[in-house]
Amino acid sequence: MKETIKNIKEVYQFGKEYKKNLIGMIIGVVMGTIIGIIVPLLTAKQIVYFTSSLWKQLLIMSLVIFAVQAYVAFAAMFFTRRNHQYFSKGTMKNIQMKLGKEILKISQNDIDKNSSGMFIQRIINDTEKMADFISWKGLDNLRLIFGNIGALFATFVINRQVFLYYLFVSIILTILNIEKTRKYGQKDKQFRKQTERVSGLTGELVRGVRDIKMLNAKESFMMKLEENITEQNWQRFEMAKINMIYKYIIDTLKAIFEFGLVILLIYLVKNNTISIAIAIALFNYKSGIMTIVMEKVSNLLELAKGFNISCDRVFSILDDETFKKEKFGDKHLEKVDGNFEFKNVTFGYDENKLVLDNINFKINSGEMIGFVGRSGAGKTTIFNLLCKMYNVKSGEILIENENINKLDESSIRGNITIISQNPYIFNLSIRDNLKLVKEDLTEEEMIEACKIACLDEFIESLPDKYDTIVGEAGVILSGGQKQRLAIARALIQKTKIILFDEATSSLDNETQAEIQKAIMNLKDEYTILIIAHRLSTIVNCDKIMVLEEGKISDHGTNEELLSRNNTYQTLYKTEILK
């Protein structure tokens, strides 16, 4: 109970701006509850008038009941449901937006360890459960519970013996419903975890459909998906089994209790304790007390359990304990020229294995620097550390002579762009992909950036030109077109440091030449770092650094390294022989 109240308070913070709607909804629920208590008493009177042939009084009472019940429908529609939509959807939107912002702050290490399905489920399903519980679903169950408690109150007024019997039945059935909810909640936690796995695999099926086809991995992937869906369905069955078993027990007990109620009422009538009319009225309360109240208590308990589970899952992302958040400094650089330095930097993704071992180098503004080395030498890691995607184990990284740990996020990522071998392009138009980095982008700026990136001719050949939707992950674009669009995006963002991470490794010679031309258009104006799979990409660099086993073993121009460095010579000969 304490946990539920605590979570309600926390969730309410996201819906405070819709306070008026919540008040309107509560007013509707309270009025409905009061009416729910009154109607059984009026119905009892109605039965008495009917059995006593008091037709005038019966007619008046029937009109009163009709008017009261008509108001319930009106209140439910205008005071409750309408306000519920505003409060619930508004609260859910606010939680989802907060959750999205916090996910973007999670450290890359923790993102790497978890599937996208886990985050998707929490943003979509859990937030909906949280918002619904504190609005319509929770309050409506309370309304029905309190309304039908009126029937129990009526029995107390009419006959204490029947009241005690109903009270005993209510306690027994409530205990069973609480136990059912406890066991159901345990299974629900496992079910949600498995649902996250299925959601993650389903997402990978859609996003990775091309690779699955090309790898001829349809059967193995589908087998993996089937295993997880089967496990998900089994856990769903286990939850259904708990409901089924307890429903059978509860329904059987209700039948026994109803039979006992009939015997009790016959006994009371025989002993002239109550009249037949009153016995009928008391008997008619059984539906509200034995069925509706118990069902709604059970529903409310299940909703509360699910609500608390959802709160735990969502708040675990919002706090800093379960998922560590990225930490930045508070110093802002007004101007970045593109100078940076690695000083004695050591780093490893795994505590027991270093990727970079005490490396040192300095890059000056406007330089074009190449990085070469065998796979796993640490080239991409240098880029990740420069963008503060990960934190160094020891040493420091300086931008404009300032340690990046002291700089705010904008000073680092607002001045660095990475263009990878397969840059992520969003399922938007070309124009909107470019406007993501500058909302007030002008037509002239957009066209100029695409010209420098050697992309303008291709865009002009499209029927919708800059308004062409490129599909998920830029599916309608070739690898070279994605990279050129990413270059245009970097130009619009106007970052002084541009990092090319093997951006031409999988391209044909003609496309590589176009990318190379686009890169050369940037020379001198930007600080450019290039991780090269093809050495032809970096032959014109001011300096080339050779990485071996996490260290910079040598550096120099293309000609200098060819004349003295065995590793570079081997890489060069290997490319020539291809």
With 50 as the cut, is the pLDDT of residue 544 above it?
yes
Assess whether 266 and 364 both reside in one domain. Answer: no
With 60 as the cut, is the pLDDT of residue 454 above it?
yes
Assess whether 294 and 353 both reside in one domain. Answer: no
Higher pLDDT, 203 or 229: 229
Q: Is residue 334 one of the residues assigned to a domain?
A: no
Taking each helix axis from N to C terminus, what angle separates 19-51 and 55-75, rounded to the nearest 10 degrees?
Answer: 160
Assess whether 300 and 373 both reside in one domain. Answer: no
Mean pLDDT of 4-11: 84
Q: What pLDDT, on a 0 to 100 scale, did the predictor assign at position 577?
A: 45
- How far apart are alpha carbons 139 and 142 in whole angstroms? 5
Assess whether 243 and 369 both reside in one domain. Answer: no
Assess whether 394 and 257 both reside in one domain. Answer: no
Q: Is residue 328 one of the residues assigned to a domain?
A: no
Q: Please write down the HEC assignment for all residues of 122-149.
A: HHHHHHHHHHHHCCHHHHHHHHHHHHHH
**Count of domains forming the chain:** 2
Q: Is residue 332 one of the residues assigned to a domain?
A: no
Assess whether 349 and 299 both reside in one domain. Answer: no
Q: Is 36:150 a contact under the CB 8 Å cutoff?
A: yes
Assess whether 402 and 305 both reside in one domain. Answer: no
479 Cβ neighbours under 8 A, 6+ residues apart? 421, 422, 506, 507, 511
Q: Answer with the one of 285, 318, 351 that is the final residue of a domain.
A: 318
Q: What pLDDT, on a 0 to 100 scale, did the predictor assign at position 471?
A: 81
- How far apart are alpha carbons 112 and 288 in whole angstroms? 52
Instruction: Please state which of the ranges 224-228, 277-281, 390-394, 501-505 shows the lowest mean pLDDT.
Output: 501-505
Q: Is 332:411 a contact under the CB 8 Å cutoff?
A: yes
Higher pLDDT, 305 or 431: 431
Joined tokens for residue 345: 């930097």
Assess whether 49 and 79 both reside in one domain. Answer: yes
With 80 as the cut, is the pLDDT of residue 100 above it?
yes
- Residue pLDDT, tens place only, 336-346: 888 889 999 99
Q: Is residue 335 one of the residues assigned to a domain?
A: no
Residue 267 sits in which domain range? 2-318
Assess whether 421 and 511 both reside in one domain. Answer: yes
Instruction: Please state which of the ranges 29-38, 377-386, 399-408, 437-446 shows the lowest mean pLDDT.
Output: 29-38
Q: Is residue 142 one of the residues assigned to a domain?
A: yes
Higher pLDDT, 527 or 129: 527
Q: Answer with the one of 318, 351, 367 that is the final residue of a domain.
A: 318
Q: What pLDDT, on a 0 to 100 scale, did the predictor assign at position 406?
A: 92
Q: Please write down the HEC assignment for all residues of 184-231.
A: HHHHHHHHHHHHHHHHHHHHHHHHCHHHHHHCCCHHHHHHHHHHHHHH
With 80 as the cut, is the pLDDT of residue 396 above it?
yes
The answer to whether the predicted template modeling score (pTM) of the entire model surpasses 0.85 is no
Q: What pLDDT, on a 0 to 100 scale, did the predictor assign at position 166?
A: 85
- Residue pLDDT, tens place only, 462-511: 888 999 988 877 778 887 788 888 888 877 877 888 888 876 555 566 66
Assess whether 369 and 245 both reside in one domain. Answer: no
Which pLDDT band, with edges at 50, 70 and 90, does 403 fall under? Answer: very high
Which pLDDT band, with edges at 50, 70 and 90, does 562 fall under? Answer: confident
Q: What pLDDT, on a 0 to 100 scale, did the predictor assign at position 342?
A: 92
CATH of the domain at 420: 3.40.50.300
Instruction: Compute the mean pLDDT over every residue in the chain, rounded to the nearest whole number.
Output: 81
Burial of residue 219, with CB atoms counted within 10 A of its CB: 0-12 exposed, 13-18 middle, 19 or more buried: exposed
- How far apart are alpha carbons 470 and 482 in whole angstroms? 10
- Residue pLDDT, tens place only, 294-329: 667 777 777 788 888 888 888 888 876 778 888 888
Q: What pLDDT, on a 0 to 100 scale, did the predictor assign at position 105?
A: 83
Q: Over pLDDT 70: what percentage of the chain?
A: 88
Q: What pLDDT, on a 0 to 100 scale, did the predictor assign at position 525?
A: 78
Which pLDDT band, with edges at 50, 70 and 90, does 398 fall under? Answer: very high
Assess whether 186 and 71 both reside in one domain. Answer: yes
The amino acid at 236:
R
Strand duo 402-403 + 551-556: pairing: unpaired
Q: Is residue 38 one of the residues assigned to a domain?
A: yes
Q: Is residue 427 one of the residues assigned to a domain?
A: yes
- Residue pLDDT, tens place only, 23-81: 887 887 777 777 766 776 677 677 777 777 788 888 888 888 888 777 766 666 667 77
Q: Is residue 330 one of the residues assigned to a domain?
A: no
Q: What pLDDT, on a 0 to 100 scale, did the predictor assign at position 174?
A: 80
CATH of the domain at 125: 1.20.1560.10
Assess whether 270 and 399 both reside in one domain. Answer: no
